[in-house]
Structure 1
Amino acid sequence: MSTAIVWFRRDLRLADHPALHAAAAAHDRIVALYVHAPEEEGQGAPGAAGRWWLHHSLAALDASLRARGGQLTVVAGSSLDALRALIAATGAEAVYLNRIYEPHLVRRDAKVRKALEAEGIAVQSFNGSLWSEPDAIVTKQGGPYKVFTPFWRVLRTHVEDRAPWEVPRLSLYPVSDDLPGLVPIDSLALLPTLDWAKGFAEWTPGERGARGMLELFADDALAHYTEGRDLPARHGTSRLSPHLHWGEISPIQIAAFLRERAAKRRNGADPEPFLRQLGWREFSQYLLYHFPTTTRKNFNPAFDAFRWARRDAHALRRWKEGRTGIPIVDAGMRELWATGWMHNRVRMLVASLLTKNLRQHWTLGERWFRDTLVDADLANNVMGWQWVAGSGADAAPYFRIFNPVSQSEKFDPDGAYIRRWVPELADAPGRLVHAPWEDPAFLKASGYPLPLVDLKTSREAALTAYRNLRHAPAETAGEPAA
């Protein structure tokens, strides 16, 4: 009887799972394995919010496998050691996996493949997370794209390359507590020790939760996505990002479902604007694959000479706590702490305040997001921060410094989002919900803090620093403290 191991990683689903699909077609029995080895992931290892999600997603996958007569074999430690032990215990002759394109894991997977193949074990890997392999899209000169629009023109031709696969017929390795190294999910200690994540209860990690979120988006927000996605007080975005990061749903599944739903409903809902946003996710993965040092270095090397301000621990703490005195920024940071998520428009505003008005190094914000976002994806997070800071690919120009007051007036005109997350301003009249410092008496009575920084003065200082960028010697560039 032929046995294969399917090594689950950030593909915690059964449907549209290329590695599982191939293994089930070629072998009599499947061993489902998850190895918890965060030390092998480098900067891509999950932060506190991500670990919360991972705990519940693993439990959901295990429940799905148990319903089919099997289990998720969970092991903590070295991936190669875990695979070797399981191969010896089950007689598996092959390992199947879906690829991850982050630098540390590309190198780790290559070492595992080389070692196992030297021992006579077949290793097969597949693309289970993207519409196209990162090295399959190149410019006419043969190099990688650095600008999104031409990249998207090519990628868009790959979106319908295949239909999503259903869950295959599975014959799973019998449930056994005698498998080597098997540990319960609870023993991984992924859940926070503080009562911090109680607000995360609005999420439903796992494949079923991903499908439910997709259906809600298709029914509720897709028809108004173009204008609704910029309004933080509305359910105007998909909120699929954590499900995508953990591979509980694939972009192929999403595109197929939205096309089918739009065709059936005929309500004018056009999935194209949303598919383009998924294209940005893929562009981030593509850039990280081709430029792996961008997790810690500026994509644009000219920014190595940018004069960042000295690290300001006080300002950074107030930014993290949502006490900057800038309402839309504080609303976003408090939403993040409470729910593990932040609206994308607001992400740009909080990042702009930190990197431009406060001129704190983009890596400081990236680290905080990495620890507190349930959808903290290394590529998306790094590229998003670099885009706002101006140092990334296809980046916002240096003179684009968001004015958080005008932005909140435009995208949260009645202050509903601010009032929800900044209760001190719940009763603020009119414009004061966006700029409470304009009425000192109200500000004092509300207990809300004065602005951490003067928006106009700090904007001018940032513009000066950006204009002088080409004239600053690289050795003066400010580096954040570790």
Structure 2
Amino acid sequence: MRLNDNTGLYHALRSGWPIVPVFIFDQTILDALEDKRDRRLEFIHQTLLEMQTEFRKLGTSLIVRYGKPLDVYQKLLKEFDIQAVFTNYDYEVYAKERDKAVAELLYENGAEFYMYKDQTIFDRDEVLTANRSPYTVFTPYSRTWQQKLTDFYLRSYPTEKYVRNFLKIDAQPIPTLEELGFKPFNEPFPGKIVPAKLLANYKETRNFPAIPGTSELSIHLRFGTISIRELARQAREHNVTFLNELIWRDFYFQVLDHFPHVEKFSFRREYDNIEWRNDEGEFQRWCEGRTGYPIVDAGMRQLNETGWMHNRVRMITASFLCKHLLIDWRWGEAYFARKLRDYDLSANNGGWQWAAGSGTDAAPYFRVFNPTLQAQKFDPKGAYIRRWVPEFNSLDYPVPMVDHTLARNRAIEVYKKGLSGDR
């Protein structure tokens, strides 16, 4: 969702045809959103308004439609003499099925459909093992990724050279959030600029949730309002640790692309044999941040109030749900999917399966985070906890809902039993 350094847009503008920019609010996705206040949708809407301002300066306009993609394209085919559609790859199962159906519709009507890599540095089959199979362990993947990286892969696509090729169109209306059936939060979103100082200190600050030590660029990466190539150039220049986070992002994309079963099942299928307790009352307490473990509760309350949670705390809260409460990681993943403003299926799924022990490169099942020790290590002065759990250390704060040692031993026993096939 940007005009600069956009692969698909670049190739469209160079195609020789006059270009019409189109955005579709996918009814299939919007209808599935339970909460009619959704930060992701608000961010998309805000971005469309900003893009429309840029398009108007170029004498063209965004064409914004709402509906099921095939229905929308049926109408667009009647409205325009479409020769080709240009877009960028999406790696989610639904998106690949949607794009395949749109491509077939276009071909039936004599139009072409082109897709390009844009939201990753490397994808699909670009980083493979020596025997040409996809990596399932991050460290060797990262090593090969970095060996392959050259300036060629980080070059921007100069769309600005070809903006004269947009079709001249009068301003078209963009539906309001209310017209789409949603209500706004009217809260500011994080900016796109990453201070060089933050990148330089990223390794030292990224694990401490009380300080602004992370970029919070995830929402911009998720919706493509910032170029991954531009960000990777900055990261390579300033901080290897930050670059490593971008490699993790590519890694999870290629895992989802090569192993689509992870969307609904454990990457390691034997982990689907674990007998989860799935206590709904305990799950609700976790959702509301009332577990009696301050670092867990702080994270969940931050998520509920802001739509974002610090990455270190995401690991702690996820581990607590899976290991301490023995609640299926899919429950937690689905809750994060509803709440996170930067929700990305591949990264969210990868993180949850890592915490549960069922994914690629996952934490071993016998590794159970101690929330108290995690708080002491990463929030030593309790500033993050006090910010989100003001009643901590008062009579109003609940006692821990489960003893850590008991929960750890129970988790190891249940996991061992499930993985042995002895249920």
TM over 0.5: yes
Q: Which residue of 2 aligns with 1:60?
A: 50
How many residue pairs match? The answer is: 418
Q: Does 1:362 align with 2:329?
A: yes
Whole-Å Cα distance in 2 between the matches of residues 231 and 183 of structure 1?
40
Q: 1:419: which partner in 2? A: 386
The SS at the match of 1:464 is: helix
Secondary structure in 2 aligned to 1:136?
coil
Post-superposition CA distance 1:136-165 (Å, at most 9, x none) = 222222221110111112222236324113
Give the Å deviation of 1:417. 0.7
Are 1:34 and 2:23 counterparts?
yes
- Counterparts of 1:43 and 1:465 in 2: how far apart (Å)? 34
Quick one: distance in 1 between partners of 2:269 and 2:39?
32
What pairs up with 1:215-230 in 2 under 5 angstroms? Answer: 216=195, 218=196, 220-230=197-207
Tell me, in whole angstroms, the C-alpha distance in 2 between the residues paired with 1:354 and 1:281.
23
- Contact 1:357–1:455 (CA<8 Å) still a contact in 2? yes
Q: Rate the CA distance shift 1:460–1:258 in 2: closer, same or farther, 3 A.
A: closer
Match of 2:261 in 1: 293
1:431-450 matches, within 5 Å, as: 436=393, 443-444=394-395, 447-450=396-399
Q: For the Cα contact (< 8 Å) 2:119–2:224, is it kept in 1?
A: yes
Corresponding letter in the other structure for 1:257: Q
Q: Which residue of 1 aligns with 2:407?
A: 458
Match of 1:283 in 2: 251
Equivalent residue in structure 2 for 1:103, among 84, 93, 101: 93
Report what 1:136 is aligned to: 126
Tell me if the contact between 1:69 and 1:175 (Cα under 8 Å) persists in the aligned partners: yes
2:7 aligned with 1:18: yes
Q: What are the residue-to-residue correspondences of 1:6-405 with 2, within 5 Å? A: 12-39=1-28, 48-156=38-146, 157-158=148-149, 160=151, 161-168=153-160, 169-171=162-164, 172-176=166-170, 184-186=175-177, 189=180, 191-192=182-183, 197=185, 201-204=187-190, 209-210=191-192, 212=193, 214=194, 216=195, 218=196, 220-259=197-236, 262=237, 270-309=238-277, 311-405=278-372
**C-alpha distance in 1, partners of 2:330/2:371?**
21
Query: 1-side partners of 2:385 and 2:174: how far apart?
Result: 44
Q: Which moved more, 1:43-52 or 1:382-391?
A: 43-52
**Superposed structure 1 runs of 4+ greater than 4 Å apart:** 40-47
Are the equivalent residues in 2 in contact too, given 1:31–1:73 (CA < 8 A)? yes
2:63 aligns to what SS in structure 1? Answer: strand
Judge conservation of contact 1:54–1:190 (CA < 8 Å) in 2: no
Contact 1:29–1:173 (CA under 8 A) maintained in structure 2: yes
Indicate how the Cα distance of structure 1 residues 248 and 173 shifts in structure 2: closer, same or farther if over 3 A, else same: same
Letter in structure 2 aligned against 1:386: Q
Unaligned runs of 5+ in 2: none
Counterpart residue type for residue 167 of structure 2 = Y
Cα distance in 2, alignment partners of residues 343 and 113 from structure 1: 39
Residue of structure 2 in register with 1:5 after alignment: none
Distance 2:303 2:43 in 1: 14
Q: Which moved more, 1:450-459 or 1:81-90?
A: 81-90
Amino acid of the structure 1 residue aligned with 2:168? P
Deviation at 1:192, TM superposition (A): 3.6
Contact in 2 for aligned 1:355/1:389 (Cα 8 Å): yes
Q: Which moved more, 1:238-247 or 1:463-472?
A: 463-472
Q: Deviations over 1:323-358 (max 9, x none)?
A: 111111111111111111100000000001100000
- CA 1:53–1:40 in 2, change beyond 3 Å: closer, same or farther? closer
Work out the CA distance in 2 between the residues paired with 1:43 and 1:402. Answer: 33
CA distance in 2: counterparts of 1:256 and 1:80, whole angstroms: 37
Shift in Å, 1:462:
0.8
- Once the two structures are superposed, residues 169-223 of structure 1 have per-residue CA deviations (whole angstroms, 9 ceiling, x without a partner) of 313333447x7xx752435536447xxx45xx2414xxxx42x2x3x3x2x3111
Between the aligned partners of 1:323 and 1:470, the Cα distance in structure 2 is 31
Structure 2 residue identity aligned to 1:93: Q
SS for the counterpart of 2:156 is coil
The amino acid across from 1:451 in the alignment is P
SS at match of 2:387: helix
Gap regions ≥5 residues in structure 1 = 1-11, 263-269, 426-435, 437-442, 477-482
Query: C-alpha distance in 1, partners of 2:132/2:206?
Result: 35
Query: How far apart, CA to CA, are the structure 1 residues paired with 2:89 and 2:297?
Result: 38
**What is the Cα deviation at residue 52 of structure 1?**
2.6
Change (3 A) 1:125 1:243: same
Q: What SS does structure 2 have at the residue aligned with 1:424?
A: coil
Deviation of 1:420 after TM superposition, in Å, equals 0.9
Q: Matches of 1:366 and 1:327 in 2, distance apart?
A: 21
